[in-house]
Structure 1
Amino acid sequence: MIQLIDSLEPGGAERMAVNYANALAKKVGFSSLVATRAEGLLKEHLAAEVDYLFLKKKSSVDLQALIRLRNYIKKHRINTIHAHSSSFFMAILLKLSCNVKIVWHDHFGNSEFLENRPLWILKWCSLGFDGIIAVNFQLQQWAIKHLWCSRVMYLPNFVDLQPSDIPFVMAGTSGKRILCLANFRPQKNHGLLIRVAEKIHQSFPDWTFHLVGKDFQDAYSESVKKEIGQKALENTVYLYGSTTAVEKVVRQSDIGILTSLSEGLPVALLEYGYGGLPVVATAVGEIPQVLSPESGMVVPSGNESELVQALTQLVTNEELRRKMGTHWKNEIQLNYTQEAVMERYLKFVLHGTK
């Protein structure tokens, strides 16, 4: 089986493609990951047993890349492609000349704004899907309503944090770090996070915020940096860029936060729990359904005052942090690990069940 993904830069869909490839290497005869457009930091997280191919795709319809993929499929006698996010288009082009099953995995992060989602190319391509996996209930219902595929399954993301040999030392005081794992995209609403950091700093100057995620060096990231400078928060809010040493980052942190305007089921949320962090997050995507009051605090999206209030409760109560972090970690172990998800996945993909 192939995991097809456009790049291996750190991101939710990309992490899941790697996680599935690694998990399948232990369960099926041949597990492969194929990156179409770009490689990235996550390549080093592929297990040694996972076969890997980089297509160097340069355009939407790159015939040379398509031929390379077709030859690879034939060489390894592959009959199933698990296409993540926008890689479905290449999978469909391949299916025109190759007898393969396609399972499409919808990781769409703007699930609060599905009415604005481009539809028609995806709708026509869905005729060639043998199944759809959605990362939250909203996306499942959207696919059932709008796409032409009869088999649609909601399957939560799972976390598989592996220790890294890469050195990673965080700034700030041990025991007083608030972590945000999120690439610098508008839907992650870093501006709100900076305003919350300013309020927390005024009351608890020893606590610091640590933003880990890909910086695209665009207008959005520049606006975040500008706001940090204008509020004189350079020694309170630290930016790190991308890293694959997520396990080390989580281990050095004390509270996890997400201020997103929209989400699917964020892998960062699960990674916080895997490391035993209590969480403050906005009520978007699948977050309100998976994060119980015993594990963290969910507040309305965009509500600065409630975010400050929730963080204040955790900052001032070490016992509450410990209890919530422990509860969330237990929830992760029960429901969001490889063992919890893969049995349902294999039944759906290999045996055709829902």
Structure 2
Amino acid sequence: MIFQNKKIIFLLKSFTLGGAEKQALNFAAYLQNELNCSIFIYSYIKTNESKLFYEECEKLGLNNLRLEKNPLSASGNFKYIKRRIKIFLLGIKLRKHNPDIIIPYLNPPSIIAVLCYKISGAKITFWHHRGADYYRGDYIEKIAVKKTPFFLANSIEGKKELESKFKIKKGYFLPNFSTVNKINTNNFLLKNKGIKGKVVLGMIAHFREEKLQIILIEVFSKLLQKNKNIHLVLVGDALDKKKFNEVKKYIFINNLKDSITILHNTKAEDVLPCLDIGVLISLKEGMPNTVMEYMGYSLPIVVTKHDGCVSLLGSNYKYFIDNKNEVDQLNKLEKLILEEKERKKIGEQNYMSLQNNFTIEKYINRLTVILNS
């Protein structure tokens, strides 16, 4: 299969702008604008965090968006039958596009895609695992796994997880591509936040269970005791309200509100140029879009050592951290805070690695090989 002039359905869980969705939208835009594909983007869960998603679609020229009712939702008796009927009806609805391929993002949309693609008339689909993902563990998931043509993961860790979880052999690893469009302007949200002249650390990640903003704040507060010339920026939406409130409470109790800025509904590119050091501390990642964005803005990065991060930064990268080793975190952050030359050197290395290895053209070539294998 080649992508030129194809009709393609993208199936997302919701119209929120996380890492998976940013990859999906940029992939869709490239297919539409460069390869003359017809693109249709579907979602089935309505949320209140959609502003940035729609702004991104407008910027990329994507306007065929459709929100459907959740076909995986069912109550009462005969839940499996009800779900299969809903998925069947969705497949019938998709037939009007005469699709060549359905591309899902995340595990639940993969279930739907696998069970409806033949009904829709699409020639192929696949299971698309994206890192910190959700497993249903129910009968409909088991049936979908058996019917899946092949499994795709955006990290080695994710591929291993799929193979272990589902006892499958036909899994592929396909790394993300860079979505960074580097902007050079002084008109950024942080310019009036009292951080001029300070070394700015930033963590761009939604507030969710697997993201460990609290660990970063604890380490930052200790660094602040020795160096007042630093500032921390946390960027992300409160997808987990409990987690978000814990972060706010910790900042308030420890009197850190003048040294830590929290931003919501904020585009990464509005913050990235203000950062000196990018940080991502987490329990689990696929191939994090955030790390690629840090690389695209020539930032040194202090990050938990997940397989996806190793794929991006290399096995010998010296600023990986252990979530449980506070001394290691302190030492590595402090070195970058104090040594501007080191920040610039590591940042440039990260930028060149991104440009050489993770373009969308290489992504499409790799996916084409997988689809044709």
> In structure 2, do the counterparts of structure 1 residues 49 and 76 end up closer, same or farther at CA, with 3 Å as the change threshold?
farther
Aligned counterparts, 1:153-302, within 5 A = 153-162=172-181, 168-170=188-190, 171=193, 172-174=195-197, 176-216=199-239, 218-244=241-267, 246-292=268-314, 297-302=319-324
Aligned to 1:80: 101
Q: 1:45 Cα deviation (Å)?
A: 1.8
1:38 aligns with 2:66: no
Alignment of 1:66-77 (within 5 A): 67=89, 70-71=92-93, 73-77=94-98
Q: Confirm whether residue 57 of structure 1 aligns to residue 46 of structure 2.
A: no
Name the SS for the 1:243 alignment partner. coil
Distance in 2 between residues matched to 1:296 and 1:67, nearest whole Å: 52
Q: CA RMSD in A?
A: 2.7
The SS at the match of 1:187 is coil
Q: 1:319-352, CA deviations, whole angstroms, 9 ceiling, x for partnerless residues?
A: 0000000000001111122123221112323xx2
* 1:326-341 → structure 2 map (5 Å cutoff): 326-341=348-363
Q: Where does residue 127 of structure 1 map in the other structure?
A: 146
Q: Distance in 1 between matches of 2:255 and 2:198?
A: 23
Report % sequence identity: 23
User: Aligned with 1:342: secondary structure?
Assistant: helix
Shift of 1:74: 2.2
Where 2:329 maps in the other structure, the secondary structure is helix
Q: Distance in 1 between matches of 2:246 and 2:60?
A: 40
> What's 1:9 paired with?
16
Deviations 1:156-208 (A, max 9, x none): 1122124689x641122255111101100121111101101101111121210
Q: Which of 38-47 and 276-285 deviates more?
A: 38-47
1:273 CA drift (Å): 0.2
Change in Cα spacing, 1:50 to 1:348, as seen in structure 2 (3 Å) is farther
1:152 and 2:197 aligned: no
Structure 1 contact 161–271 (Cα < 8 Å) conserved: yes
1:30-56 per-position Cα deviation (integer Å, ceiling 9, x unaligned):
233222223622232236554522224
TM-score w.r.t. length of structure 2: 0.83
Q: Report if the CA contact (8 A) 1:281-1:297 is conserved.
A: yes
CA–CA separation in structure 1 for the residues paired with 2:167 and 2:100: 21
Q: Is the 8 A contact 1:259 1:302 kept in 2?
A: no
Paired residue for 1:24?
A: 31
Task: State how far apart, in whole Å, the 2-side matches of 1:173 and 1:48 are.
Answer: 32
Deviation track 1:123-174 (CA, whole Å, cap 9, x = no partner) reads 4212222222101112212323443765421011122124689x64112225
Residues in 1 aligned to 2:208 and 2:110: alpha-carbon distance in whole angstroms: 22
State TM-score, norm by structure 1.
Answer: 0.87
**Unaligned residue ranges in structure 1 (runs of 5+):** 111-115
Amino acid at match of 1:169: L
Q: 2:203, 2:233 within 8 Å by CA — same for their partners in 1? A: yes
* C-alpha distance in 1 between matches for 2:232 and 2:63: 38
Query: 1:113 maps to which residue?
Result: none
What is the letter of the counterpart of residue 24 of structure 2? A
* Aligned equivalents of 1:45, 1:70: Cα separation in 2: 29
3-state secondary structure, aligned to 1:97? helix
- 8 Å contact 1:102–1:128 — kept in the other structure? no
> One-letter code of the match for 2:299?
L
Residue 315 in structure 1 maps to residue 337 in structure 2: yes
CA contact (8 A) 1:124 1:148 kept: no
Measure the CA separation in 2 of the matches of 1:48 and 1:318.
35
Pick closer, same or farther for the CA change 1:43–1:289 going to 2, 3 Å.
same
Change in CA separation of 1:174 and 1:192 when aligned onto 2, cut-off 3 Å: same
Q: How far 1:294 moved relative to its partner?
A: 7.2
CA distance in 2, matches of 1:22, 1:303: 41
CA contact (8 A) 1:158 1:338 kept: yes
